[in-house]
Amino acid sequence: MSRAPVRADGLSGSLRAGLPDLRMVASASLRLHEEVDPERVARLSQRLAAEGVLRNPPVVSALDRDSFVVLDGANRVTALQQARIRDQVVQVVDYDDPAVVLDVWAHLVAEDVPISRDRAPEATAWEAMPADDVRAALDGGRLACGLITPSGAFGLAAGSTLADRVRALAAVVAGYKGRTPIYRVPPDDLPALEREYGRQGALVLFPRFTKQDIRAIAREAVKLPTGISRHVVPLRALRVNVGLDLLRAEEPLAAKQARLEEFIRARLLEHRVRHYPESTVLYDE
């Protein structure tokens, strides 16, 4: 299959016309809405130290006057913060733009794990109900979490506040995290997923949060478990490969931003910036 690259020439004063909005921001200004995976953070820390570059900038949106909510890249942000990197390169998007889509993953896991009581007894008051009712109740905000198994479907009642809902589903995920492989999948029918993955399991379903929910969670101590929220961002900036020396430099952000834009301009003049409008499936992540 041939792919015809679309060349991104055309410079502007800020290098942002038709290109992702890449900015230097203070590490301390970045707020997470989801938990991080300590193992992935450790691996990223090792890779960053070995390679000395940040490949893919995290995606963020303005939260408050001096802060940003991280939409994608919580592990990268945390790895750089733990390395005491003062500033970070991020891709800034307008969260209110309808083209930035907030979706949700489901978790495909071993059938007997999600309702185990030994690690999360406070979140195992599952109510048996038809699978269609589970999905409808999740969409209506009446459930914190749903569970579809070969033997039946179950729902976990939502609390009265957003924080209650987040805590309840976090307790469910804590009941199986680390005990079984977790496959992030679309919330499709369980039999179809079992055929695709070649294994029997259970499907853990989560409610569809709103963008306002994500902003609110970023301001609170309670966070979503990793692997639930899914952001689809058009014109995603990948393989930027910014050196960590620039991020570490003791310079004003404006000076670093100017150096970043010169770096991007050089890539443009070398015809190294490409925009592929096709949907892409990667097999080496």
> What percentage of residues in the chain have a pLDDT greater than 70?
90
Mean pLDDT along residues 153-177:
89
**Residue 45 DSSP class:** H
Please indicate, yes or no, whether residues 223 and 124 belong to a single structural domain of this protein.
Answer: yes
> Mind listing the pLDDT tens digit for each residue in 64-79?
989 999 999 999 999 9
Q: Residue 285 falls within a domain, yes or no? A: no
Number of domains in the chain: 2
Q: Tell me what pLDDT residue 4 has.
A: 35
Q: Residue 160 falls within a domain, yes or no? A: yes
**Residue 224 DSSP class:** B
Q: Residue 164 falls within a domain, yes or no? A: yes
112: domain range? Answer: 104-209+216-228
Please indicate, yes or no, whether residues 167 and 248 belong to a single structural domain of this protein.
Answer: no
> Mind listing the pLDDT tens digit for each residue in 108-149?
998 777 665 444 444 457 889 999 999 999 988 889 999 998
Q: Tell me what pLDDT residue 7 has.
A: 35
Instruction: Give the chain's length.
Output: 285
Helix 211-219 to helix 162-174 angle (10° resolution) is 80
Q: Give the pLDDT band of residue 10 (cuts 50, 70, 90).
A: very low
Average pLDDT value over all residues in the chain = 87
Helix 74-82 to helix 38-51 angle (10° resolution) is 60
Report the chain's C-alpha Rg in angstroms. Answer: 21
Q: Are 225 and 105 in contact (CB under 8 A)?
A: no
Please indicate, yes or no, whether residues 26 and 84 belong to a single structural domain of this protein.
Answer: yes
pLDDT: which is higher, 10 or 177: 177
Please indicate, yes or no, whether residues 28 and 116 belong to a single structural domain of this protein.
Answer: no
With 0-12 / 13-18 / 19 or more C-beta atoms within 10 angstroms meaning exposed / middle / buried, residue 155 is buried
Q: Which residues of 184-211 are buried (b: 16+ CB within 10 A; e: fewer)?
A: ebebeebeebbeeeeeebbbbbbbebeb
Whether residue 188 is predicted with pLDDT greater than 70 in this model: the reply is yes
With 0-12 / 13-18 / 19 or more C-beta atoms within 10 angstroms meaning exposed / middle / buried, residue 166 is buried
